[in-house]
Each structure stands twice: as C-alpha cells, then as structure tokens.
Amino acid sequence: MITRRALFAGGLSLGLSALPRRAPLSDPFRLGVASGEPTPGGVVLWTRLAMEPTAPDGLGGMPSRPVPVHWQLAKDENFRHVVRRGTEQAVPDEAHSVHVELDGLQPGAEYFYRFKADGELSPIGRTLTAPAPGTRTRALNLAFTSCADYQSGWFTAYRRMAEDEPDLIAFLGDYVYEYGPYQHPVRDQAGGECLDLAGYRLRHAQHKSDPDLRLAHAVAPWAVVWDDHDIANAWMGGELEPGRQAAAFQAYYENMPLRRAQKPEGTRLRMYRSLRWGAVANLHLLDTRQYRDPYACADGAGTVGPECVERFAPGRTILGKAQEEWLDGELSRSRATWDLLGQQVFLMEMDWVNGAGEGYSNEGWDGYVASRDRLAAAIDRYGRNGVVLTGDVHSHWAGEVRRDFRDPESKPVAVELVTTSVTSAGDGLDEYPNTAALLAENPHVKFFNGRRGYVQARLTQREMAVDFRSLPRVTTPGATAYTSGSFVVEAGSPTLFAP
Ligand SMILES: [Fe+2]
C-alpha cells in the first residue's frame, strides 16, 4: 500500500539514527506533526516548532519571535491535489505550536497534510474526517491506550498501533508523567519534576521527539483526555502550587491536536466533549479528575475496606454535576449504535483483596458509587450500547458493568475495556500469582493481561470486535506485539463473547 510505505518511510527517516536530511540544528519539525478531533468534514492539524526539544527553558531552542508556518492539506500524499492551504503564526506564548482547525472538508475522507517553516518541510501526516451524520456503512477502527512514562520504557506500543493504521486513536490519560528522574530509568529523561510551564513544555517536547510516538501521531487523528499525571499524581482538580495547574493545562493544550474550545484560560479548561463517527459510534470523552469529590475515607487515593460507607453517599460525584448533566443529555439524544465513554479510571466494581476481606479503590468509580449508578441507569434508560474505555491501571482488563453491583442478579448494561499502558510499570507479566483469584472473586470481570500495549476495536452496526494487544517487553526497543485476548460484543447485548 503506497500510503503505508510513504508514511512509514517518513517515520523511519525521523529516527535519530537515520541519516539526517539537514544540518542538525536547522530542522524545526523535530516534534513531528499530528491531527485530531475529527468531525464530519473537519479536523485539527497540529505542529510545534522546536530545534532543540530538550532545551531547559522548554522553548525548544526557538527564537523569541513569531515564526510563520505554512500548511497544506491534500487528497494525495504527493500533494498534487492540494485542497486547502494557509499560514499561521507560531508564537512564543504558545511555545511555537500551531493548531489549524479545518471545516467544510469531505466527510469520511482521507487527507494528507504537511507544514513548512524557515524553508523546511515537515514530515507528512495522514488524517481522516468523520463520516457524515447517519452514515451506517463505515466501520470505526479504533485504537486506544494510556500511560506513557518515558523513563519506564520504549514507546513500541505507539509504533505497533501506528502499523495497524487505525481510523482514530484515543489516548486515555498520562501522556506524560510529571515525575523527576528515577534512580534506574530505562531511558533518561531531561529535566526534573514538572512544576512550572518550562518543565511541562520540556516534558511534552521530549515525548514528541520520540520517533514511535511521532509515527502514531502522523498516521491517524487522535482524541485525547488527560489523567492525573498530565498535571500531578492523584490530582483531583484545583491548585497544588501557585501557577502549576495553569502551567500543566497550557502545556497540554500547546502539545495536543485540540480545538480552541479546549484552550485553557488560566485554570479553566473544559476537557469533556463528544466526537461522532457517523451512525456507528459516538465517543464521549470524560474528565473524571477535575470535578470529582474528595477521595472517600482517606486523605488520598488508595484501597478502602467495607467499613468505608462514604463511597456510597448519594450526593458523591466523580464527574461533577455539570458534566453529569451534559453526559446524560448526550446519551438521551444519541442515535449511534455505540456510545463509547473514553475516560480514566476503573468503572466496574473491583474487589482488589484476595480471599477473605474486601478492598475497593477510592480513586476509581468504586469511590463514587452513586455516580456510577446514575450513569448505568442512564445507559439502561436510553437503551444505549455503552462501551467504557478506561486507562490508568497499567494492565488490560475486560468486564461487564452491572446495572447495580449490590445486586448479584443485576443485569449488565455496558461493557468496559481497560487498556494497559504504553510503558508504565515496565515489562510486566501476562498473569500474576493472584490473577486467577481476582477474576474468580469478581465474576463480571472476564479478562486480564499484565503486559504493556494497546487495544484495537472494530465497530460496525452489528458488533464490536476487540483485540487486546500486548508486548513481551518495553525495557528494550522493537518488541513484536501479540494478541493476548479477543472479544466480540453484539449490538443490543452488553456481554463479552470470546470468539
Ligand atoms: Fe498511569
């Protein structure tokens, strides 16, 4: 396939070991290109100029003046049929990032794009617009993953995901980690703990300078939501140190292919929103971090026992009132076959303690049971095919969301697919000594795999086919991915079948 060859050749030429096409300091496109937020006929094109991605001031070695960036969008990868072109100013206040919001394109179409600055051409990106509203015939090939700690390993999962050429990549949080250096990192990262704008900008730039990540951005549009580490460990909204939250928000926007609707004003940033894929799927991207009530029965995130009744308090919310109402409205109006809920933390009930005794995470929806009950009720009431897409826990899981977990006879109303991490937690194991016991004690949970990787899902009007993709290792580069579990969900029946 021509497309594939050109893109992957472009991707490879970005590798640090490849022959440089230019003098080392003259390439302003070291962070690659990206696209995101597809609509029927629209998409965002992104790049950020940086000649020295790990410059300590976070500004990528760029001059403190605006730089004009020309862009082209074409129907073909040779740019013979350019359909749009324009110029944006990349300004120092936005770390020389560019977000081009396009509309009025052909729905359900493939496009190619590139940028030019200082006489240099960027790598080529491929992107897609969403199918027109009501389109029933176009499948959605979705890939999703989470948790890419640079110090914990190689970004092989991003490359393997790119090689599948999905239509859309959903990233469910922890795109960066704010941590300072580890004692024994797999890869050395630049900079210390992210505490200010320079620190977050530098961390994002270092990630984007990774060739596997750049390839994944160049191959398909992305839809991103954040988790705590994109700001700070166990963040639950609000300020940690003066200016830190605003700095994390600003760097997140600058480095992601987001619309201006997600551009922060200080510490205000609305992350929750919906994307639509014809009549096949709506993807509702949720923010379970920013508006949640405080952790139940503890000062911070952790496992709480049966004595913790606070987690059942009817007023508790993990989404916040406004987001809950918005989501209820989205579900009530949805006419798509599938309603995907892209979010951060475990939604199913999960007893994490083997044998006698119980332990529930107060960080996941188990700490906000009433919130979960209201969502399950809404999915049930509106007759939706709900699919919860989750990150955060650095392992693959699949299970069924019950209408009411306190009633063992309660029917499932949705399925949950939990993706493992790109690198976080290191190589891992397929199974752990307690895996069988955990699955036996939580009968609605059907699958676990403890390696790194991503999830592939193919959604049609009739069914969703899911492959959990795993890597034998991330502590060295280049691992081959394998399928550690496969499931099929039929529209109208929220249960997981092993094919
Ligand atoms: Fe994580």
* Residue 441, both tokens: 């004690």
497 CA → ligand 1 middle, Å: 28
392 CA → ligand 1 middle, Å: 5
What are residue 422's DSSP bridge partners? none
Phi-psi region of 377 (alpha: psi -120 to 50; beta: other; left: phi over 0): alpha
424 CA → ligand 1 middle, Å: 6
Cα→Cα distances 380→240, 296, 327, 386, Å: 38, 27, 14, 9
Over residues 294-332, the pLDDT tens digits come to 999 999 999 999 999 999 999 999 999 999 999 999 999
CA distance 156 to 150: 11
288 CA → ligand 1 middle, Å: 14
What are residue 463's DSSP bridge partners? 490
Q: Is the dihedral angle over the CA atoms 485, 489, 493, 498 positive or is it negative?
A: negative
pLDDT of residue 373: 98
352 CA → ligand 1 middle, Å: 18
86, 70 Cβ separation under 8 angstroms? yes
145 CA → ligand 1 middle, Å: 10
Q: What percent of the chain has pLDDT above 70? A: 95
Per residue, the 3-state secondary structure of 149-180, as one string, reads CHHHCCCHHHHHHHHCCCCEEEECCCCCCCCC
177 CA → ligand 1 middle, Å: 8
450 CA → ligand 1 middle, Å: 14
394 CA → ligand 1 middle, Å: 6
Q: Is the dihedral angle over the CA atoms 99, 100, 102, 107 positive or is it negative?
A: negative
111, 84 Cβ separation under 8 angstroms? no
342 CA → ligand 1 middle, Å: 15
176 CA → ligand 1 middle, Å: 9
Instruction: State the Rg of the chain over Cα.
Output: 22
CA distance 72 to 114: 6
Q: If we measure between CA atoms, which residue out of 295, 193, 201 comes closest to residue 241?
A: 193
289 CA → ligand 1 middle, Å: 13
Phi-psi region of 163 (alpha: psi -120 to 50; beta: other; left: phi over 0): alpha
Q: If we measure between CA atoms, which residue out of 265, 259, 203 comes closest to residue 229?
A: 203
118 CA → ligand 1 middle, Å: 37
179 CA → ligand 1 middle, Å: 12
CA distance 118 to 122: 11
155 CA → ligand 1 middle, Å: 14
Q: Is 465 helix (H, G, I), strand (E, B) or coil?
A: strand
| pLDDT digits (tens), the chain, 499 positions | 335 555 665 543 333 333 444 444 589 999 999 999 999 999 999 999 999 999 999 999 999 999 999 999 999 999 999 999 999 999 999 999 999 999 999 999 999 999 999 999 999 999 999 999 999 999 999 999 999 999 999 999 999 999 999 999 999 999 999 999 999 999 999 999 999 999 999 999 999 999 999 999 999 999 999 999 999 999 999 888 889 999 999 999 999 999 999 999 999 999 999 999 999 999 999 999 999 999 999 999 999 999 999 999 999 999 999 999 999 999 999 999 999 999 999 999 999 999 889 999 999 999 999 999 999 999 999 999 999 999 999 999 999 999 999 998 999 999 999 999 999 999 999 999 999 999 999 999 999 999 999 999 999 999 999 999 999 999 999 999 999 999 999 999 999 999 8
* Residue 331, both tokens: 């579900």
409 CA → ligand 1 middle, Å: 33
122, 116 Cβ separation under 8 angstroms? yes
232 CA → ligand 1 middle, Å: 11
CA atoms within 13 Å, Cβ hemisphere of 283: 29
188 CA → ligand 1 middle, Å: 18
4 CA → ligand 1 middle, Å: 31
CA distance 422 to 85: 35
204 CA → ligand 1 middle, Å: 15
CA distance 305 to 325: 30
